[in-house]
Amino acid sequence: MTADNGGLPQGGDSRAGSELLEVSEPARSGGRPVAALAAGLGALRPLPAGAVRWGTGFWGRRARVNASRSLAAGLARLETSGVLENLRLAAGAADGAYHGKLPFLDTDVYKWLEAVSWQLQQPDAGGWSAEESAEWSARAEEIIALVAAAAAPDGYIDSYTTVVREGERWADMAMGHELYCAGHLIQAGVAHRRATGRTSLFDLARGFADLLVAEFGEGGRRVGYCGHPEVETALVELSRETGNRAYLELAQRFVDLRGGGLLGDRPFGRHYFQDVTPVRESFELHGHAVRALYLAAGVADLYLETGEQALFEALEAQWHDLLRGKAYITGGTGARHRDEAFGDAFELPSDGAYTETCAAIALMQWAWRMLLATGQSQYADVFERVLYNGFLAGVSLDGERYFYVNPLQVRPDSTLGPDGRQEWFSCACCPPNVMRTLASLTHYLATSDAEGIQLHQYADGSVRVEGDGGHGPMGVEVATAYPFDEAVRLTVPAECAGHWTLSLRIPPWARGAARLELDGAVLELDDSDGYARVRRHWRGGEGLVLTLPVRPRLSVADPRVDAVRGCAAVERGPLVYCLEQFDQQVSVDEVRLLGPVYDADPVRIGEFEVPGVALAAESLAVLEKGAVPDGWGYRELGEGSPGAGAGVLLAAVPYFAWANRGYGAMRVWLPLA
């Protein structure tokens, strides 16, 4: 095992058979040179695991909530929901009916195992002691043993097919989710091996993957692809992990075949499965959002390994399509409840927004790979937007309740939307997906290239690369209350002396207004490509202060977004804000913004304090109780226009923090007077 083979496709399977590290040695585990995600042909390289560490700031706290509360609650739910029992049924170790009706419930287990694995990789980030790590590792091994018991002799694993379909495999490629389940198993197996060095889960994953190659590979017994893309990213990563190109080629084959209509015409149509046009001719995003975005991430992974330009051009066109009119201001995607699908361009209703939490995660995965491929700030910009808004709103501040659907507006007593945060779901894809994302979030903050290191996201903690591309150690300590506060204080440790470039992403709202000081002297800052780059010979010990103008601002949408015409949304730094009825004196549906927005007192929500924002507004007299005209809700233009009402000050809170003090009416977009 060498320092630079991990995660690189040419590395070979050098770790197979290497000695196991005890998980009770967190320091060594955290320091292992395992890349979280793609490397390959990209402009930027992911950093080794352990290179980014949390401090006590925003993300450090969230990570500890995830490690200390979400994983344990999740384990309890895996048991009570019956998904572990389903594995026992498949193993012949239990009797009874299959729990749940969905064919992909095994992935709840796999995603949870992946989350525990990433947390075991850096137990200190979750606040785990060595004893706790050993306990979590042992719990994971117990569940891995269940997965192993459910495996068929030839490596096939899928409790639903085994129990409900009586072993009839690949009978429903459109909705059977067998390859989707395999993908999550593979990702969990890779994470578990990278984190612990153990191969208990990895061997199961590889065994299944080998079976997939035999079944679906070139010259295999079957020609097909999965109705729910996901296995593509997993296979590319397995190829990186093992150096075995067969997995890469299988991912390539799935991508090459897709769009051939092999999935058939289901009620929601072929768009639902991204099966209308070949991938290289798919220049727009259509259909089920999570499927489309996992597929895009998989195609990006493939591009990172093969460099095939036609794939990248399709991805760039899809990205443009996304940004232009298929993403919410929260970074949420998937406008439609009916088929969990993207809307048409500019079809972005606030109340009807589906914006599944898993779609936010899938978009982060795609954006990250596009960032690695190109080094362009736009991908990190979107990553940040999704991270703080569309994604983070999906989990409660206490880490134990979740949204599956993330609307931007909830009306009073609504029968739409999610009806409050839930502890689990009959389709529980989101909760363990949140857990694995939070447990691996350190992997997504910074990168390196031949010049130095790039900070894409700002979090209290540190970044440290032990030597990369001929450099000695490079890194910075980061002290910041970002995203709440404007100052990011960076210190280059003495041992990171040397000639290298520190690149700092300047978010779009800060471009042209950010300020950077080096040991008290203001640096001239060129952020035209989205990064401020400090190229110098570091002595070590230098202190930098990056100041980002984190102030409330009002944003508006493209005029073709009908749903929010005449409205503005409050943003503050990377955070989108919202009005919760809880905080107001008047109905959130009966106010008009006058314009001014102000920083207000912090708001305590559970264990957290978040910056408040105040908005000058007026309530509409015509809508005040008793003043609503009865009867038909339409009138001739000019008749009975609402008069100006009383002035009111509205209190907004970050969108990610909503519905933590009860569930009620809420709005992100507010009509302008």
Residues involved in catalysis: 340, 429
- Residue 382 Cβ vs a copy of itself, minimum distance, rounded to whole Å: 8
CA distances from 94 to 5, 149, 150 (A): 42, 12, 11
- Residue 385 Cβ vs a copy of itself, minimum distance, rounded to whole Å: 9
**Within a 10 A sphere around the Cβ of 662, how many other Cβ atoms?**
9
Give the DSSP letter string of 403-426: -SS--SEE-TT-SSS-SS-BS--S
Nearest CB to a copy of itself, comparing residues 145 and 648: 648
In contact, 486 and 548? CB cutoff 8 Å:
yes
CA distances from 254 to 172, 260, 462 (A): 16, 11, 39
Nearest CB to a copy of itself, comparing residues 408 and 605: 408
The overall longest dimension of the chain from CA atoms, in Å, is 81
- Residue 415 Cβ vs a copy of itself, minimum distance, rounded to whole Å: 6
- Residue 666 Cβ vs a copy of itself, minimum distance, rounded to whole Å: 13
Residues listed for the chain: 673
- Residue 201 Cβ vs a copy of itself, minimum distance, rounded to whole Å: 34
Nearest CB to a copy of itself, comparing residues 153 and 634: 634
- Residue 312 Cβ vs a copy of itself, minimum distance, rounded to whole Å: 17
In contact, 388 and 434? CB cutoff 8 Å:
no
DSSP state, residue 630 = P
In contact, 107 and 234? CB cutoff 8 Å:
no
Nearest CB to a copy of itself, comparing residues 76 and 644: 644
Question: Encoding tokens for residue 535?
Answer: 């190229």
- Residue 286 Cβ vs a copy of itself, minimum distance, rounded to whole Å: 6
Nearest to 480 by CA among 492, 490, 494, 470: 490
Nearest CB to a copy of itself, comparing residues 628 and 649: 628
- Residue 664 Cβ vs a copy of itself, minimum distance, rounded to whole Å: 13
The SS3 of residue 538 is strand
In contact, 408 and 350? CB cutoff 8 Å:
yes
**Whole-angstrom Cα distance, residue 662 to residue 386?**
23
Interacting residue ranges for a copy of itself, rule: CB under 8 A: 269, 271, 286-287, 320, 323-325, 327, 329, 336-338, 341, 343-347, 349-352, 378, 381-382, 409, 411-416, 508-509, 553-569, 589-590, 620, 622-623, 628, 630-637, 642, 669, 671-672
In contact, 526 and 475? CB cutoff 8 Å:
no
Which positions ≥6 away from 667 have C-beta within 8 Å? 350, 408, 409, 410, 578, 579, 588, 589
- Residue 365 Cβ vs a copy of itself, minimum distance, rounded to whole Å: 19
| Residue 200, CB-side half-sphere exposure with 13 Å CA sphere | 20
Nearest CB to a copy of itself, comparing residues 60 and 645: 645
Residue whose token pair is 């970044």: 463
Which positions ≥6 away from 654 have C-beta within 8 Å? 388, 572, 575, 576, 577, 578, 610, 611
Nearest CB to a copy of itself, comparing residues 298 and 343: 343
Nearest CB to a copy of itself, comparing residues 121 and 377: 377
Nearest CB to a copy of itself, comparing residues 33 and 530: 530
- With helix as H, strand as E and coil as C, how does 491-514 read? ECCHHHCEEEEEEEECCHHHCCCC
- Residue 636 Cβ vs a copy of itself, minimum distance, rounded to whole Å: 6
In contact, 187 and 237? CB cutoff 8 Å:
yes
- Residue 381 Cβ vs a copy of itself, minimum distance, rounded to whole Å: 8
CA distances from 280 to 234, 259, 293 (A): 20, 9, 15
Phi-psi region of 530 (alpha: psi -120 to 50; beta: other; left: phi over 0): left
Say if strands 498-505 and 452-455 run parallel, antiparallel, or are unpaired: parallel
Long-range contacts of 162-166 (CB under 8 A, 24+ apart): 162/89, 162/90, 163/86, 163/89, 163/90, 163/98, 164/98, 164/103
Nearest CB to a copy of itself, comparing residues 555 and 585: 555
**Whole-angstrom Cα distance, residue 582 to residue 560?**
31
In contact, 274 and 289? CB cutoff 8 Å:
no
Nearest CB to a copy of itself, comparing residues 59 and 655: 655
- Residue 349 Cβ vs a copy of itself, minimum distance, rounded to whole Å: 5
Nearest CB to a copy of itself, comparing residues 325 and 483: 325
In contact, 184 and 111? CB cutoff 8 Å:
yes
In contact, 537 and 498? CB cutoff 8 Å:
yes
Burial class (CB in 10 A: 0-12, 13-18, 19+), 57: buried
The distance in angstroms from the start CA to the end CA of the chain is 64
